[in-house]
Structure formats: C-alpha cells, structure tokens
Amino acid sequence: MSTLLASALAIRELNEQTACPPRALIDACQDALGRIIEASRSWPLAAIVGMPIPVDHLLYNCAVVLHRGRILGVVPKTYLPNYREFYEARHYLRVFDEAMPRYGITVSDRELACAPFRSPEGRACFAAMAAAANTAFANRQVITHRVRELFARVFGRDARALGLEVIYDVCHNTAKLERHRIDGEWLELVVYRKGATPAFGPGAPDIPAAYRDVGQPVIIGGSMESGSALLVGASRAMAETFGSTAHGAGRTMSRAQAKKRV
C-alpha cells in the first residue's frame, strides 16, 4: 500500500518529466490494486489505498476504500498544495487562508496561516494530524513485525529469543496538547514540532514509566556521511525549547537544490 501511495504522490512529477503520461505506471498501480482487492476478501477490516486515478486526461490523487473484495468508494484529495510535500499543515493551508478573515487573523507569511484551535477548522486539522500519527505508529508496528519474522526465519529462532524489541517509537512533525510554564504560570499549549521531536526531561509525566527517571529517549538520525546519536531529554530542554530537539542531522541544501545539482 505504501508503494501505491508513493506512486500517487510522485506521478505528477513523472508526468512533468516525460513527453507522455506514464501509462505503464498507472497500469501497474491498477494491477496491484486488483491483487489487494482479491486478497481483501478474507480480511475482517476495511482498507484505504492511495491510487492515481485518470479521469478525462487528468490524474487524481485518490483514496480507494476496500472491504472484503469490494470497492466501497473513491475519494479524491482536495486542497492540494502546489508543491510535492503533503503534510497535514500544508494540506490545510488553503483552509486556513479562507478561515483567517473570519477570525480577524493576519500573518506576515502564508506558511503561518492558522485558525483558533477550538474552531471547526482547527479541530479538523488537529484530528487529521492525530489520525496521520496513529497511521504512522500502526505502519511502523507492521514493519517491525515483518522484520522480526524475517530475522526469525533466517536465524531459525524466535524473535523474542533474538531480543528484537522496540526501544522507543515517536512521531515528529506533529502537534500535541502539553502543559508548559510561561512566565511562572502553567498553561496548556498546542506545541507543533516541525522538523523536531519531543525531548522531555526526567520526571515529565508524558514519558513512559520505563524512561521517566532518566528522560525521554531521543534518536537523532544521521545522514549518508554522519552517524546517528541516541540521547536523552534534559530538564533544560523544558525551559528553553518546550522539551524539543531536532529529529535528524538535517541537510546542507533544499530538495529542489539537490535535484538540480545531483
């Protein structure tokens, strides 16, 4: 399913780079969808698959809802940004653009478009983000399970005996409701970590009990030329960064620059 979703997101770029529509890729996605539909006959659940759907010489990025061998519906994505990254905040950029005048909000940069948290637009954005985070957690659980199965098959031992356990799992680029001290007063805030991840210090109630005495595990992913780091959150982070840190090594140039130079 992840492959089909990636195809749906990348297909517009392929169209721009080729003289004719990538018919072979569309056909491959449709063939794969057919196999998933057939396999779903025995599934006691509904599945949603990302698909590029051609209609009247246009390509639509759609969600196909499946249940027990049947397509229940096809929903095209709306409020598409005009670039190729599909985060929830950017998905809602146009929604917030239209909502801000109603709430008397002005911003200096369109990327800061927003709406009151308790407004219908704010609640919808937060719910979509929560659903995306839950999907990410579930997806990584499936990936972890498959990796365990592979190791068990190769080494001929149970995954538990091999010690294949998850140390920690955390999402980044998400918003959370948290309590922080501002000018000596404890307030409930919406903390949105863009390009960042939580790094709560020792004793923070949001940390699982297993790590609460030492601080939240923090994984700083490396790059092709630098190593990764496994760290713990510190009390100082709570005072200086709302308990946040970077979620990776970063990059020396934007994706657009890299595409031009490489």
| Side-chain-facing half-sphere of 144: CA atoms under 13 Å | 14
- Give the Cβ contact number of residue 141 at 10 Å: 12
Helices (H), 41-190: 88-91, 93-99, 120-155
Residue 25 buriedness (CB in 10 A; 0-12 / 13-18 / 19+): middle
Residue from 57, 67, 145, 247 carrying the catalytic annotation: 247
Query: Which residue pairs from 217-223 have beta carbons closer than 8 angstroms and sit at least 24 positions apart in sequence?
Result: 217/167, 217/168, 217/170, 218/245, 219/168, 219/170, 219/247, 220/245, 220/246, 220/247, 220/248, 220/249, 221/247, 221/248, 221/249, 222/248, 222/249, 223/248, 223/249, 223/251
67 classed as catalytic: no
Residue pair 87/173 in contact (Cβ under 8 Å)? The answer is yes
Q: Measured between alpha carbons, how far apart are the two ends of the chain, in Å?
A: 29
Q: Which residues contact 129 (CB under 8 A, 6 or more apart)?
A: 88, 89, 174, 175
Residues with catalytic roles: 247
